Structure formats: C-alpha cells, structure tokens
Chains A and B, each alone.
Chain A
Amino acid sequence: MAELDTSSKDGKGGKVRSKKASTRVDLTAMVDLAFLLITFFMLTTTLNKPQAMDLAMPDKDQKQTDQLAVAASRTMTILLGSGDKIEWYIGEPGKSAPTVEGFGKTGIRKTLLENSQKVKQTTGKDMFVIIKPSDKSVYKNMVDILDEMNIANIQSYGIVDISQPEIDLLKKDNIYQ
C-alpha cells in the first residue's frame, strides 16, 4: 500500500545524522491474507457438517396382534418405480386405478397435500402413507419421498416391502425396467 513519506528531507542543519531505520513493517498484506484464510476455514467447517434424516422402520418381530389396523380408505400406497417415476393409489390394490406421477412440486407433493386434506375431511383422521420401493428404484427416490412426507407434514408413514401384484402394476405402466 502507498505510504506517505512525511519525514523532512532538508538537511540544512549540516550535521550528518545517522538515519534510523523504521521498525514498522507494513502488515496490511499479512492481515489480508489472514482474514482470507479465516473466511475459508470458517465456511468449510460450518458447511461441512452433513444433514441427517431420521428414519424409523417398523419392528419386524412385532406381533401382528398389537398392530393397529388402519382403515383402507385413509391409506395411500406409493410405489417407487424406475426412471424417477412413482405410482400411487388409495385404499386396497386393484380397487382404485393407480396414478403414475413424477417427483417435485407439481407431481407427488401436490397429490399428497390434496389427498391428506381429502382424507381429513371425509374421515376426520390423518392419512397414513405406505411407501413401497421396488427393486428398480434408486436410493435417491427413497430419500426424496421421505422428504416429501416431511414437506407435506405427514406424520404416519412406513416403508414396507413390495409385493408381486404391485410389481405387476408397475410393469403394466412400464416403470419397472
């Protein structure tokens, strides 16, 4: 940085003075560098921490008797297929036509919100969602659908193994490849 020389230069006195070298060092560049590094380390340490999504799976050894029977009318089943596609239906399989949909704001999120409102109005209880990932779906789909549950504020949901009739449904709609 520019530094103004304010020391008088006129040597009119005639006396030869030994000029004392200044002990001051320009620290500007050093401070600049230090703050740059601080910013770097601050950002990397706080942003590095991964987010964790908690997931509770149903207990496998639980006896069938103490499981709560959920009315079919307020159960929504979501099947995860290949190619980021999902298929959903309400109630028992085969009784209502399944719908094929994609992820995102206009896809499953809208459906989830609409369905949960509808179920709330007709039965007065919250909707129960069953998620069935097929073997052709990827891990991202599973995380995405769990995230949608979070966004749509659905409290009760579970991940269950897929069954053969449901795989056939997916096959029929060409999202099991």
Chain B
Amino acid sequence: MPRVKIKRKSTVTDMTAMCDVAFLLLTFFILTAKPKVPDPVEIDVPGSTVTIKQPEENIATLVVGKGKVFFDITGAKIRTTTLEQMGQKYSVTFNETEKARYASMQGVGVPMSQMKQYLDLESDQRENFKQPGIPADSVSNELFNWIREARIATKAINGAELRLSIKGDSKEEYPTIKKVIDILQKQKVNKFSLITSLRSAKK
C-alpha cells in the first residue's frame, strides 16, 4: 500500500533572470569606472565642507606636492594637441606612439628637455622614474606655457574655457602654492578651484 506523501515544495528559485540583471549592471559599472592612477607624489588632500563636485570635462589639474608641480589635463585629444604645441615651442618633435602614450597618462611633471626620453620609457620603468616637476621659475617658466597651450587647445577643440583646479598637499608650504597662483594670475585666470575631500562641518 502506498503511503500518502506530503509533497514538499522545492526551495530552489530560478536565479537566471537575477543573474542576468546583476551581470548587466556589473558590466555597466566596470565600463564606466575610471581607473584611478596614483598621483606622482603622495598627496593628502585637505578636507572641507564644500560639496560641489568637480566637472569632468575641460579641466586641468595642477598637482602640487613636495615643492613640485605636475600638470594634468582631461581629454585625450586636448592632451595630444597641447603636447604638440609645447613641442613646437621647445623644438621637440614627438612621434605618434609618444603622443598616444602621453594621452593615456595623467599628471606629468617632466621638463620639456626630458619629455621625449620619459615618454620612450616602458610603463614599468616609468613608475621608477623620478619626476622632477615642471619648472616654474622665472628662467624657464614651462608651467606657464603648459597652462597657456592647454587653454588654447581646449578653446580650439571644445570651444570652451579651460577650468583650472589646484590639488595641493595639506603640508605644502604656502610659497609653493602662491607661485602657482601667481602663474595663473599672470594669464588673467583669477577664478579657479581647489580640490578638497569631504569632511563634515562638525569637528
């Protein structure tokens, strides 16, 4: 005689749809995520209570740390054009590989005399290369030209004004910052932003 069996419900749920959605979202986030390239020098960004986000486009960042200045522009096309114009100014010619390499980098702080040599290095060697920072003294004010050429390039390509922001280290002494601000003011850039990290108002 057959026993009456209570049919147990299966606890297995169909995960296929959930899995599909999860991986779709995952792919989206991976593709939109920007790889974070470490700064050329260690930078501890000071905190503030402002919550205005920095725009993504038409922006150049001056990374200031340990008395050195590094220059970073967003947008591959603007980067290449700026490098070309700088090359013309300092009579250095760059080939396509070098230009492509420069376009994919971020903050660079190499004087124009060493730029070609720096761009020819392989990426693992480049990490060990000690960047001396962009010269910003009165003898060879390369930083001034970098900023100017980047502004010209942005105007020509995107038709927009280049915004400049300063990313400084908390412990950086004021004279270095002042030097950078003076260079900006010399080009009549009186409005710029300071990059800060978020901190709550209560201390």
Contacts and interface: CB of A to CB of B under 8 A. Distances in A.
A4 B11 contact: yes
Contact of A57 (B22, B170, B190, B196): B190
B15 A28 contact: yes
Contacts of B32: 45
A55 B197 CA distance: 16
Contacts of A147: 48-50, 196
B46 A140 contact: yes
A10 to B, nearest CB: 10
A144 B47 CA distance: 8
B170 A138 contact: yes
Given A24-B12, A150-B48, A55 B191 contact: yes
Interface residues of A, number: 52
Contacts of A135: 173-175
B177 interface: yes
Interface stretch (B51-59, B87-95, B154-162): B51-59
B194 A146 contact: yes
A50 interface: yes
Contact of B23 (A24, A34, A134): A34
B174 A38 contact: no
Interface string A138-150: 1111111011001
Given A52-B194, A55-B193, A140-B46, 4 more contacts: A30-B15, A45-B32, A51-B53, A59-B185
Interface of A: 2-4, 6, 24, 26-28, 30-31, 34-35, 37-38, 41-42, 44-45, 48-61, 80, 104-105, 133-144, 146-147, 150-151, 161
